[in-house]
Amino acid sequence: TFLLWLLCCKTGLVPIGWYGDENPIAFSLMFGIAALVISCPCALGLATPTAVMVGTGVGASHGILMKGGETLEVASKANVVLFDKTGTLTRGKPAVTEFTRVASDEFLRSLMTGDSTMSPDDYIVWLLGSLERNSEHILATAIVKFTEQKIENLLRLNPLAQPTDFVAMTGRGASGVINGNMKVAIGNRSFAERENMALSQEVEECLQRFESEGKTAIIAGINGTACAVLGIADEIKTEAPDTVRYLRKLGMDVWMVTGDSKRTAHAIARQLDLPEDRVIAEALPTSKIDQVRKLQQEGKIVCMVGDGVNDAPALAEADVGISMGTGSDIAAEASDMVIVGGNIAGTCTALHLSRAIFRRIQLNFAFSMGYNIFCIPIAAGVLFPFLQLRLPPTVAAIAMALSSVSVVFSSLALRLYKPPDIAGTAQTSRQKYKIPKILRLGRARNEQQEYKPVRPQEAAWSSDDESDDLEYFSDELV
């Protein structure tokens, strides 16, 4: 800018009257300094980091921990959400609600070797508790808890045994040897078939009944014979249906993946208002990774939401991994975001906030670029030939500072962010507030509706037990 104006002055293109007694070098230098100062890219440099810093702080205040700016950009573009079921869409506190013995008394008593302190039902429960006592699986914990509750008194005389040859198959079941001669196995249908258990009609009916109710149905067998069918229920989180509904309303493709049978998975999907073609049942940990990769190959940006150790590979593989803070440490480490409280509605907030932050970054860039595009030509003297208007360097410095301050304030506006109302139709109930006696009318009525003065010795702020149905601001009834 300086050289161009100086050249124009030396060649006579700039009339002498424009700069008068001023030296052409000083005249040109004023334009050069103003253009140099106002073109400082501070605003451009602050556009992203300030928005990310404020946005991550806002996320933390809403119970969402984010691991960097790149995560925000990818999350803002996510169009597929893949949910794990247990512990994510459900409360993660399964409990045995059904226990049906299908083996005969004769068969079980032949295994009890003269132990008359237990009934056949109690004996099966004792064996299952002994098998699962060392397992960390969430369903195994439910079985052990069921055992402790059902035969609490018997456990004082017959504590749980230590299994040997224990084998656990992820997503299938577990087996082991109790008392040296009884092989006990417990798991889903495919695991029972692997253990060569013959499933009778009674067993099939129990499995179908439990699964149609949305419960996880598992089969317990001893020495290759199916002895009992258990139904384990895990209550769906209250906010889960609204969360799924909200994400679908945003146009996202929502999936649910679970290791449960198809019948159980579809029963849960109906409670979530989720189409059956968006449910992946009987899934192993590798199946979750395969589904993530399949969706990515279709050009989708996948957000995986889970909480367990089995979800960690899929969380790491997905474009965006979101874990529940109530889940395992491995899942939290593998994910890009952590919902501290375990509220699944935080998924909506995380994705919605990511979009808000990314839009703010784009707005900051657009403002910074537009500001420079508009101000630099003015500082360079484009208007001087027409209006004799020149931008002093001091004013250019102030304008440059204002651009940076404007970007910072734009980012700070994210602090006004409010999370989405996933319920959508929630209506706040009308609240009623009792008016202190000091603010009520200083008169009361007797039973004949005659007015009489309020007794002065009554405390102005004393408690009162009047019914909530009374009309407030009306005269006090005595």
CA distances from 121 to 108, 139, 186, 349, 424 (A): 9, 20, 15, 48, 48
216 bridge partner residues = 232
Tokens encoding 14: 């700039």
Q: Is the predicted pLDDT of residue 181 greater than 80, yes or no? A: yes
Q: Strand pairing of 173-178 and 182-187?
A: antiparallel
Cα 245 → chain centroid: 14
Is residue 431 scored above 90 in pLDDT?
no
Q: Which pLDDT value is given to residue 405?
A: 82
- Is the pLDDT score of 7 beyond 50? yes
User: In terms of pLDDT, which residue wins out, 440 or 195?
Assistant: 195
Least confident of 169-183, 198-212, 306-320, 368-382: 368-382
Residues of the chain with CATH 3.40.1110.10: 93-235
% of the chain exceeding 90 in pLDDT:
18
Checking if the pLDDT of 255 tops 90, the result is: yes
Query: What are the backbone dihedrals phi and psi of residue 449, each rounded to the nearest 5 degrees, phi first?
Result: 60, 25
**What is the number of other CB atoms lying within 10 angstroms of the CB of residue 3?**
9
Do the Cβ atoms of 347 and 338 come closer than 8 Å? no
Q: Are 354 and 368 in contact (CB under 8 A)?
A: no
Quick: pLDDT tens for 38-81: 666 666 677 788 888 898 899 988 889 988 778 888 998 999 99
More confident residue, 399 or 216: 216
Question: CB neighbours (10 Å) of residue 186?
Answer: 27
How many angstroms separate the CA atoms of 174 and 71, rounded? 38
Percent of the chain with pLDDT over 70: 73
Q: Which CATH number fits domain 93-235: 3.40.1110.10, 1.20.120.1200, 3.40.350.10, 3.40.50.1220?
A: 3.40.1110.10
CATH 3.40.50.1000 maps onto the chain at 62-90+236-352
Q: Is the pLDDT of residue 190 over 70?
A: yes
pLDDT, tens digit, for every residue of 396-416? 667 777 777 888 888 899 888
pLDDT of res. 321: 93
What is the pLDDT confidence band of residue 375, given thresholds at 50, 70 and 90?
low
Contact assessment for residue 390 and residue 30, using Cβ atoms and an 8 Å cutoff: yes
Tell me the pLDDT band of 14, cut-offs 50, 70 and 90: low
Mean pLDDT over each residue of the chain, to the nearest integer: 78
Task: Judge whether residue 301 has pLDDT over 90.
Answer: yes
Over residues 276-297, mean pLDDT? 88
Confidence at 284, pLDDT banded by 50, 70, 90: confident
The per-residue pLDDT for 464 is 39
pLDDT at residue 82, rounded to an integer: 93
CA 227 to chain CA centroid, nearest Å: 40
3-class SS string, the chain: CHHHHHHHHHCCCCCHHHHCCCCHHHHHHHHHHHHHHHCCCHHHHHHHHHHHHHHHHHHHHCCEEECCHHHHHHHHCCCEEEEEHHHHHECCCCEEEEEEECCCHHHHHHHCCCCCCCCHHHHHHHHHHHHHCCCCCHHHHHHHHHHHHHCCCHHHHCCCCCCEEEEEECCCEEEEEECCCEEEEEECHHHHHHCCCCCCHHHHHHHHHHHHCCCEEEEEEECCEEEEEEEEECCECCCHHHHHHHHHHCCCEEEEECCCCHHHHHHHHHHHCCCHHHEECCCCHHHHHHHHHHHHHCCCCEEEEECCHHHHHHHHHCCEEEEECCCCHHHHHHCCEEECCCCCCHHHHHHHHHHHHHHHHHHHHHHHHHHHHHHHHHHHCCCHHHHCCCCCHHHHHHHHHHHHHHHHHHHHHHHHCCCCCCCCCCCCCCCCCCCCHHHCCCEEECCCCCEEECCCCCCCCCCCCCCCCCCCCCCEEC
Pairing of strands 320-324, 302-306: parallel
Please tell me which residue, 252 or 444, carries the higher pLDDT value: 252
Is-contact 81 252, C-beta < 8 A? yes
Closest CA to 436 of 473, 477, 478: 473
- Higher pLDDT residue, 21 or 289? 289
Per-residue confidence (pLDDT) for residue 196, from 0 to 100: 86
Residues 327-339 pLDDT 10s: 888 888 899 999 9
Task: Choose which CATH entry (3.40.190.10, 3.40.50.1000, 3.40.50.2300, 3.10.20.30) describes domain 62-90+236-352.
Answer: 3.40.50.1000
Please give the pLDDT value at position 139: 86
Identified catalytic residue from 84, 121, 319, 336: 84
**Whether 165 is catalytic:** no
Residue 147 to residue 150: CA distance in whole angstroms: 5
Give the pLDDT band of residue 446 (cuts 50, 70, 90).
Answer: very low
pLDDT for the residue 68: 76
